[in-house]
Amino acid sequence: MAEHPGLFVTFEGGEGAGKSTQIRRLADRLRRAGHDVLVTREPGGSPGAEAVRHVLLSGAAEEFGVRMEAMLFAAARNDHVEEVIRPALESGAIVLCDRFIDSSRVYQGVTGNLETDFIEALQRVAIDRVVPDCTLILDLPAETGLGRARRRAADAAPDRFEREEIETHEKRREAYLEIAEAEPQRCRVVNAERAEDEIADEVYAIIEPLINRSGAPEPTETENAE
């Protein structure tokens, strides 16, 4: 049970899966329906976390090893949670976050070969009970996602994570699907190989029913009484 009146939704999946696209579309739709929506992203989302994002994505921390990277991600996440996400949820907003704990589990945990206990301990400290109410895992073959991401940034150099082998990207896809299987209450897998519109409709159909349950004020009994 959430400890706040807001709704916390995270978007996960590999590079080019369509997370940013779908967040933008869902945010527009929810705002048009009159909801208070906050869009944010990881790594980053708050000034402290954005500073760390730069270090992580440039690859500057890579030479210090995956433990160092994982701890930097956790430091950034804690700043983001305490400065941005928790206050928004406490004010009753719908928070849409581009990547969150599952990215750490998949990127640092699975393909970085870090022990699960270490990752989970870091997560506990980083999020301090701010667990997503719903996580949408946008699923598609690594090749398709990377192709999309490369077309999008034809002239930009690939970042630290995009440079890795296709096989690594496929392992991450499997890891996301395992998380979804282990936590079916929180996670929903969305087939991201389809047209943007079709995906957007499914995403909305998953999230919309969660809104009232998340604590948005319902009419009181007395108001309803005849």
Dihedral sign of CA atoms 110, 169, 171, 43 in order: positive
Return the number of the residue (19 or 86) whose C-beta is nearest Mg ion.
Answer: 19
Cis peptide before 43 (omega within 30 of 0): yes
Size of the site for ligand ATP (CB under 6 A): 14
Does 149 engage in binding with ligand ATP (CB under 6 A)?
Answer: yes
**111-130 mask for ligand ATP (x: CB under 6 A)?**
--------------------
Return the number of the residue (67 or 171) whose C-beta is nearest ligand ATP.
Answer: 171
Options 9-17, 50-58, 111-119, 170-178: segment touching ligand ATP (CB under 6 A): 9-17
Residue 12 phi/psi, 5° resolution?
-130, 165
Contact 84, 38 (CB under 8 A): yes
Does 45 engage in binding with ligand ATP (CB under 6 A)?
Answer: no
Instruction: State the amino acid at position 23 in one-letter form.
Output: I
| Residue 12 among known ligand-binding residues | no
Give the residues lining the site for ligand ATP (CB under 6 A).
Answer: 13, 15-21, 148-149, 152, 195-196, 199
Query: Binding site membership: which residues?
Result: 13-20
